[in-house]
């Protein structure tokens, strides 16, 4: 029994570190794409591709952190949250887990499409610039469609998990109320032409990840879920 409690503690704390790591992924991507990279606003698509070619390592790092590393950490967090819930077999919890798993796959697929698509574009830019331009636009479409242009899947996961948390009282109530807001904003990004929805979702989810991570890290073995995770 003691070994099982210790194992659960390790899993939950790994999930806490993963949640905080996901927030750091958000921050790192913002620093890279909005701070370190500065694409001139007055250049055409070809000029943009040439700029990305010059900054390839930094761009690749941004996609790797924002999609691939984020996806791996999300998978760890999902595994930990299964152990955090008193009743992981409830209908809402099961549905939340399904959307979480879909989000992992979408993030990983988006990251690989972005990196491979960029590499192929840069290989073609000198010999076949027209094909390179077409591939660049196709790559952007796939990456945005799967990985962040619309945050529906991630929003549904946060919303459903927060509903589960309120039902089972496994974390502090304010954390779940914030999760309801974050999830709702994510779902509303289907209205992708409305300004600032996606920005609000990302910023509030960053806060939610940090809060969730801290709650998981404070978990103490042998005291029961409700007391430990509040």
Model-level pTM greater than 0.85?
A: yes
Q: What local confidence, expressed as pLDDT, does residue 5 receive?
A: 52
Residue 30 CB partners (closer than 8 Å, separation 6+)? none
CB-CB contact of 107 with 67 (8 Å): yes
* Long-range contacts, 130-135 (Cβ 8 Å, 24+): 132/49, 133/45, 133/46, 133/49
| CA angle centred on 171, ends 167 and 173, rounded to 5° | 70
* Residue ranges for the chain with pLDDT beneath 70: 1-7, 220-230
- State pLDDT tens for residues 99-146: 999 999 999 999 999 999 999 999 999 899 999 999 999 999 999 989
Taking the C-alpha atoms of residue 38 and residue 211, their distance in angstroms, rounded to an integer, is 32
Q: What local confidence, expressed as pLDDT, does residue 1 receive?
A: 52
CB-CB contact of 14 with 7 (8 Å): no
Q: What local confidence, expressed as pLDDT, does residue 53 receive?
A: 94
Residue 97 CB partners (closer than 8 Å, separation 6+)? 78, 81, 82, 88
CB-CB contact of 151 with 206 (8 Å): no
Question: 195: phi > 0 → left, psi -120 to 50 → alpha, else beta; which?
Answer: beta
**Residue carrying structure tokens 């070619």:** 53
């Amino acid at each position: 029994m003691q070994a099982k409690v210790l194992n659960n503690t390790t899993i939950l704390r790994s999930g806490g570190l993963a949640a905080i790591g996901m927030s750091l992924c958000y921050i790192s991507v913002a620093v890279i794409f909005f701070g370190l990279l500065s694409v001139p606003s007055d250049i055409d698509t070809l000029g943009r591709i040439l700029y990305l070619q010059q900054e390839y390592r930094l761009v690749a790092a941004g996609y790797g952190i924002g999609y691939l590393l984020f996806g791996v950490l999300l998978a760890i967090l999902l595994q930990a949250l299964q152990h955090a819930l008193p009743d992981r077999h409830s209908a809402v919890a099961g549905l939340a887990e399904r959307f979480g798993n879909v989000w992992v796959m979408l993030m990983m697929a988006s990251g690989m499409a972005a990196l491979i698509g960029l590499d192929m574009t840069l290989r073609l830019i000198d010999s076949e610039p027209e094909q390179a331009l077409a591939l660049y636009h196709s790559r952007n479409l796939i990456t945005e469609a799967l990985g962040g242009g619309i945050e529906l899947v991630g929003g549904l996961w946060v919303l459903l998990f927060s509903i589960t948390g309120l039902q089972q009282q496994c974390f502090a109530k304010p954390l779940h109320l914030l999760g309801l807001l974050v999830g709702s904003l994510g779902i509303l990004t289907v209205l992708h032409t409305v300004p600032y929805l996606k920005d609000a979702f990302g910023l509030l989810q960053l806060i939610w990840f940090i809060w969730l991570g801290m709650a998981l890290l404070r978990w103490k073995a042998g005291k029961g879920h409700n007391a430990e995770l509040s």
